Structure 1
Amino acid sequence: MPHINLDKDLPGMRSLLAFCPEIGEPLGQIANILLRSNDSLSMADRELIGAYVSYLNDCFYCQHSHAAIAVCYLNGDTELVEQVVKDFSNAPISNKLKALLTIAGSVQKGGKFVTTEQVEAAKAEGATDRDIHDTVLIAAAFCLFNRYVDGLATTTPTDMSSYPLRAKQVAETGYGNHIATNPQPAAHHKEH
C-alpha cells in the first residue's frame, strides 16, 4: 500500500507523475533525453542499463518495466534481456556494452566506485566520452527513479503480462505525463 495518497490504478512511476505533474514533466523530459537518444549507445542499450541498475537496486517495477521496453527494441528477445540483467558478463552482447554495464554497476554502489580502469576499459572497447557520460547519468537517474518508486511504496503489478503492454506504448510514444494519464492498453487488442 502506498505511503501517500496515490492513484492505486496507476502503477509505479505513473502514479507519481500523476500525483505531482510539475515534477513529472521534467522527469519525463530527462527520461526521454537519456533513454530515447539513439546514437552510438542505442535505445536498447540505454534501457538495458536502466533495467540492470533497477535489478541491482531491487526495484521490481522499474526492472521489469525497462526490461520490457528493451525487449521491444530487441525484437522480442526476452531471453537476452533477462541474461543481461542477471549476468551480463556471459550475455551475447558487445564488449563495449559489458564495459558500460560494469560502470553502471559501480555508479549504483556510489559514484566514487567508478574507476579510471573501468573507463579506460570502456574506451578500449569503443565507448565514446558521451557513451560513458550517458551511462553514468542513466545509472544515477535510475537510482533516483528506483528510490522514488520504492520509497513511496507505489503499486507494483505482479501480473507480468501488464509490462509488455505498457512497454510498447512507451517505446512508441516516449516518456512523460501522457503515460500517466493514458489508460493501460488492453491485453486483448491486437494490431494488424
Structure 2
Amino acid sequence: MPYIEIPSPVPGIRGLMASKPASGRVLSGLAEQLLRGDSPLSVGERELIAAYVSYGNGTRYCTGSHTAAAAHALGGDYALVEAVQKDPATAPVSERTRALLAIAGKVRGDARTVAEEDVEAARAAGADDEAIHDAVLIAAAFCMFNRYVDGLGAITPEDPAVYDRIGAALVAEGYLPQAAE
C-alpha cells in the first residue's frame, strides 16, 4: 500500500507519477530518452543496466519490471539478465557490456569510486564516450527512480507474470504514457 494517496491502484512508478502528473511526464520523458533515445547502447543493454542497478538497490518493483524488459529486449533471455544480476564479472556478456556494468555498479554504490581506470577499461573494451556517459546516466537515474518507488511504498505485485507483462509492454510501447492511460 503506497504511503500517499494515489488516484488509482496502478503498480509501481506509474501509480506514484499519477499523483503528480506534471512531474510524472518529466520522469517518463527522461526514462524514454535514456532507454529508447539515440544511444550506441542497444535497448537490451540499457534495460540490462536498469535491471542490474535496481537489483543492487533491492527495489523489487523496478527489478521485476526492468528484468522483464531486458529479457524481452534480449530475445527472452531471463537467464542472461539473472546472471548479470548475480555476478556481471562472470555473466555471458560482451567485454564492453561487462565494463559498462562495472561502472554502473560503482555509480549505484558510490559514484565517487568511478575512476579513470574504469573508464579506460570500458574504452579498451570498445565503449565510446557516449556509451560510457549513457551507462552512468542510466545508473544514476535508476538510483533516483528506485528511491522514488521505495520511498513512497509503491504498489509492488508478487506475481512474476505481472512483471513479464509490464516488461513486454515497456519494450513494445516505451515509457511515455499511452493516450488511453
Report TM bin, short chain.
over 0.9
Which letter does structure 1 place at the counterpart of 2:100? Answer: L
Structure 1 counterpart of 2:79: 79
Structure 1 counterpart of 2:166: 166
- Structure 1 residue 137, shift from structure 2 partner: 0.4
- The answer to whether structure 1 residue 13 and structure 2 residue 13 are counterparts is yes
Structure 2 counterpart of 1:154: 154
5+ residue gaps, structure 2: none
Per-residue CA deviation, residues 162-188 of structure 1 (Å, 9 max, x unaligned), is 111121111111102339x64xxxxxx
Count of residue pairs brought into register by the alignment: 181
Per-residue CA deviation, residues 127-181 of structure 1 (Å, 9 max, x unaligned), is 01000100110000000000000000111001111111121111111102339x6
Q: Distance in 2 between matches of 1:29 and 1:43?
A: 15
Which letter does structure 2 place at the counterpart of 1:162? Answer: V
Structure 1 counterpart of 2:95: 95
Q: Distance in 1 between matches of 2:39 and 2:119?
A: 19
If the length of structure 2 is used for normalisation, what is the TM-score? 0.95
5+ residue gaps, structure 1: 183-192
Q: Equivalences for 1:117-128 in 2 at 5 Å?
A: 117-128=117-128
- Structure 1 residue 112, shift from structure 2 partner: 0.8
Q: Equivalences for 1:28-107 in 2 at 5 Å?
A: 28-37=28-37, 39-107=39-107
Does the Cα contact within 8 Å between 1:28 and 1:177 map onto a contact in 2? Answer: yes
Does the Cα contact within 8 Å between 2:39 and 2:134 map onto a contact in 1? Answer: no
- Structure 1 residue 110, shift from structure 2 partner: 2.3
Structure 2 counterpart of 1:137: 137
Q: Distance in 1 between matches of 2:11 and 2:56?
A: 20
Q: Distance in 2 between matches of 1:162 and 1:96?
A: 31
Q: What root-mean-square deviation, in Å, do the aligned CA atoms of Structure 1 and Structure 2 show?
A: 1.4
Q: Distance in 2 between matches of 1:171 and 1:101?
A: 20
- Structure 1 residue 14, shift from structure 2 partner: 1.1
